[in-house]
Structure 1
């Protein structure tokens, strides 16, 4: 499955899945929802900054209501980056990164547990190295409830955030491949996309 919020709901909707992505950028989300609606897919969505605890709670409350208290798949693929040397990070900047990239995944995975369990078979997907161990822990802890937990490590992906750094994302990807090796970079979708957790029923 490509890490493209623009494509993923369409692919899953074609398989009769109900999908509810979220995005902190309302205009990007509205544009995607309009496109999906025009194509005839029943995708709903929420505006949510997942670095904010209260907004995460509101998001998962909405998801639970929309999906009648049951959830089959949770995809955590939020991402935020501050491009400066580690030594120059302020405490506030580090807290922002951790709240967005890790704390949000941990908390939303907690909030999603009841509807995932209620569905009878659930799955959690996540990205980023810090999430890898969490995925393993969740897999062990929730195996008894028939809930899988997977961590996916895609290549550099063209998003609106990446384009602010370099308009030629393909050049950046080539540089990444040079450092980590081509075999370690997967060929995922390169669309400009909003990129935050997606709930699927």
Structure 2
């Protein structure tokens, strides 16, 4: 598995309880305000580690995960680009660890399906449901995002995923944000798991 870094002792930031964030390299998008742009462009910051060794490093906080219902969150970049490694990690790590993936969902569906079957939780940054805004901001189309979102809606319990819907300065204003929220609700997405927020340049 290729990783950038590990950030320990995160409390109710990217998952329930105390979590460790494992940042993975690589992303299919070119977002204008990417907070990890430097990391994604620097191969010298990438480390290669086996899933067993990564579990060994993360096990130092096993008691915290156990007593707070926490676990590991994979961020990036786009973690789902390493879906095979994530599957192997899930098959080897303690079953008490809650595993969460922060994703844009702009990946092939066959990357996502096996992870849904492994009971991962998901934090989804939807960017915008408006195809034009999405294209202008990320440089890509959002057709695949919509396809994968419908799959999540169908197979993942509503309390095992959250959808972040941003205001993006210069791209998506408050009206655009509300329009995206309305479209998500139109798909039958539970309003309780929609999280409005604002990007910071």
Q: State whether TM-score is above 0.5.
A: no
Q: When you count helix as a share of all residues, which structure comes out higher?
A: 1
Higher relative contact order (CA 8 A, sep 6+): 1
**TM-score normalised by the chain length of structure 1:** 0.40
**TM-score normalised by the chain length of structure 2:** 0.40
